[in-house]
Amino acid sequence: MLIKRILFAIVILTANVSLNYAQTTEPMNEDEKEVAPQYCYTVKEMEKISSFIKEQYGDFEIVAHEKESPDIHCDIAIVPPTEEQPYYKLVTMGAGAYKMNVPKDLQSRVCDRAEYVVFLPKDWKLESDKEEDYWPIRMLKTVARMPVESDEWLFYGHTLSLKSDESPVAEGVGFNSCILLVSKGKDQCVKQFKLGNRGKKVAFYQLYPLYPEELEYKLENSFYDLMDKVPEEEMKNQVINIHRKNFCK
């Protein structure tokens, strides 16, 4: 078991990257022209991704469309709360159109395409443009663009700082970073989705926000050490709670 953990830890390289270039998500007027993205799914691929999201996370009718997309076109599917799962599920649609620069020696184990997921409480103000409400969407877009902007890659266990000065994401919110986890959907762990016959696969990662002390602890120790500090109950549904306990303080 120890050998397995060590080998897997080699794959989970620390990716503590400072980012601050998320795009806006606003309704588009009919007279506005959308900037053509460099990387985008085909119509058929987008249909498959949409169907997979519905299968794993639930039906949705609302998609937050991006106004400007200079690189990837990062829309966000908004799956509404249900009686069984009383929280929002936000899933990017478009990040996986970009093939990440995964090192050759890791390509057999690391998926080179990914979409990203966050779960939010049912009373979250999704229509608000205030930063204390908008930051989860900004986080999704920031993480989605990191591989494009930096020519790097992301994987389960990687951590990212969300602002260049490593300050909190918004006033009244203590988080300043996030860690990538395997996403939970209809399957306990959402598996890589096969896009077509050419070997394209897309991973789905859950974004779990971290406090500065938690990020520091993970960087100084390991992903496993940090997860050992997080209660099992906290990991059951992974809904973001801005008032949760700091597990490294």
Structural domain of residue 128, as residue ranges? 2-235
User: At residue 26, does pLDDT exceed 60?
Assistant: no
Q: Is residue 159 part of a domain?
A: yes
pLDDT interval class at 27 (50, 70, 90) = very low
For the record, the structure tokens of 246 come out as 């700091």
Which of 20-24, 28-32, 236-240 reaches the highest mean pLDDT?
236-240
80, part of any domain: yes
Closest CA to 126 of 89, 181, 177, 72: 89
pTM of the model: 0.85
Within a domain: residue 108?
yes
Rounded distance between C-alpha atoms, residue 45 and residue 14, angstroms: 31
Residue 67 corresponds to which amino acid? K
Domain count, the chain: 1
User: Is residue 98 included in any domain, yes or no?
Assistant: yes
Q: How many C-beta atoms surround the C-beta of residue 212 within 10 A?
A: 18
Model pLDDT, residue 11? 40
The Cα–Cα gap between 118 and 120 comes to 7
The confidence band for 34, taking pLDDT boundaries of 50, 70 and 90, is low
- Asked if residue 246 is part of any domain, the answer here is no
- Note whether residue 44 is domain-resident: yes
Q: Is 245 part of a structural domain of the chain?
A: no
